[in-house]
Structure 1
Amino acid sequence: MAKRALIEQRPWLLASIAASVAYYFLRDNPVGEGTWGLALKGASVGLLALYVALRVPHGRHRADGLLLVAVLALGACGDVAIELDFVTGGAFFAAAHVVAVGLYLRNRHQRPSPVQKLTGAALLVGTPLVSWLLSGDGQIAAYAGFLGAMAGTAWMSHYPRYRVGTGAVLFVLSDWLIFARMGPLDLEPANTILIWPLYYAGQLMIATGIIQCLRGEQPVR
């Protein structure tokens, strides 16, 4: 069964990584600035969603797997939409965060440590606060409330924190670099270099970390 999964499904994961790398290096070229660039960007997380959809197990974990597919699909839509209209893209990401919060609350850690509780609370409160300080924009802070809820609940879930929790934090860091472009703090060239790698790595860690737990390939905590 594992060999069959490798043959039939893992290529979608490799295709996702390849699309992400191609987008990163082509985004500032004429090829990457038009339709091809949008296609590569959308395919990066879109293929992650397909990879997860093909690996969702049957049984009691199926609903969680389908929620993860929805999170990734909404994220892929947001990746494309944000290039066309910032507000529409933000709405897709906010929707993805709402679904992700539902997924993580369904899978709460039953006995979180004090450090885990403190970190979850810090992400919940600190994410919108830092977002507002970086951007000076109330709407950005409102969106970041959804982002912080996603990261905080991910950290408080029973999924591996070194994969899923860290992936959520990378997502937050990527968005903070985006928000910094809107305010007085000049972080270039970090913004240009790191936004996409942090974001995609975060999504990749979340997707693979959760689906491996759902399939029993990684232990939950």
Structure 2
Amino acid sequence: MPRRALAEHRPFLLLSIAAAIAYYLTANGPLPGTASMLVKGAGVGLLSVYALRRHAGNDAKLLALVMALAAIGDVAMEIDYAVGGAAFFASHCAAMALYLRHRRSDMSSSQRLFAAALLIFTPLIAWLLVAANDDALQIAIYALVLGGMAGLAWTSSFPRYRVGMGAVLFVISDLLIFARMGIWATSPVPGHLIWPTYYIGQFLIATGVIQTLRSNSAGELGEP
């Protein structure tokens, strides 16, 4: 990547990482509630800015929308789970639109099967984790869209072990949230893993998509 591009664009990734780490280290800690929410939202929100700065095409704008809606969801989840869930639902729908625009033409049967497994087992596992919860049906519907998003990411033309794996990490993060609502309600494990799996997943998605878009439009791989 040219030095000027590094100076202009990489700071958004570095600031995003710094915000994500800061939130992880200070969640339920010294930061006041409002400040903590803003730091949390900045983690993925800055990935939205990164997408807009690194590519001018419509797909980058769609990716920025995906990340912006997720950042809104991050903040809203601290206030109202329903509002936060709705923001993430919208983010997944926007992500599916992006991945449908970049379908992989040469999928193997194992890739198709894994995508189908994500679609089927994500809502099934979510349902089993929260079966006793009053919102179990709504959670299962949300998880169906989540699994569909991950399946489309896995079978898209974007790098499978960045974008596809990032979407799978997103699924794992949400399943940990559902586990914390049910069978792992008293376990400290979800609290330690939810944010890292979610943020790393979003980071992989954002950088993987942008790298591909830049490669397609400029014929270069370069750095994210």
Structures share fold, TM-score greater than 0.5: yes
Of 62, 87, 93, the residue aligned with 1:92 is 87
In the other structure, the counterpart of 1:83 is 78
Q: What's the offset of the Cα at 1:146?
A: 1.1
Aligned partner of 2:142 in structure 1 is 143
State the partner residue of 1:189: 188
8 Å CA contact retained: 1:53, 1:65: yes
Identity of aligned residues (%): 55
Shift of 1:30: 3.3
Letter in 2 for 1:106: R
How big is the alpha-carbon RMSD for the aligned residues of Structure 1 and Structure 2?
A: 1.4
Query: What does residue 30 of structure 1 align with?
Result: 30
Structure 2: runs of 5+ lacking an equivalent: none
Pairs aligned (count)? 214
Residues of 2 paired with 1:29 and 1:190: CA distance?
18
**Length-normalised TM-score, structure 1:** 0.93
Distance of 1:187 and 1:166 partners within structure 2: 28
Whether contact under 8 Å (1:49, 1:72) holds in the other structure is yes
Partner of 2:38: 39
Give the aligned partner of residue 8 of structure 2.
Answer: 8
> Which position in structure 2 is the counterpart of 1:132?
127
**Contact 1:180–1:187, Cα closer than 8 Å, also in 2:** no
For 1:176 and 1:191, the matched residues in 2 are separated by 9
Separation of aligned partners in 2, 1:199 and 1:121: 21
What's the offset of the Cα at 1:181?
1.4
Structure 1, unaligned runs of 5 or more:
none
- AA of the residue aligned to 1:81: A
Q: Provide the secondary structure at the position in 2 that maps to 1:181.
A: helix
Matches within 5 A, 1:150-169: 150-169=149-168
Q: Residues 184 and 190 of structure 2 are in contact (CA less than 8 Å); yes or no, is this contact kept in structure 1?
A: no
Could you tell me how far 1:174 is from its partner in structure 2?
0.3
Letter in 1 for 2:20: S
Q: Summarize the Cα distance change of 1:218–1:126 in structure 2 as closer, same or farther, 3 Å threshold.
A: farther
Distance 1:211 1:181, change over 3 A: same
TM-score normalized with structure 2 length? 0.92
Q: Distance in 2 between matches of 1:135 and 1:44?
A: 28
Instruction: Report the CA distance between 1:210 and its aligned residue.
Output: 0.5
Match of 1:17? Answer: 17
State the match for 1:172 in structure 2.
Answer: 171
| Per-residue deviation, 1:185 | 4.2
Change in 2 beyond 3 A, CA 1:187/1:173: farther
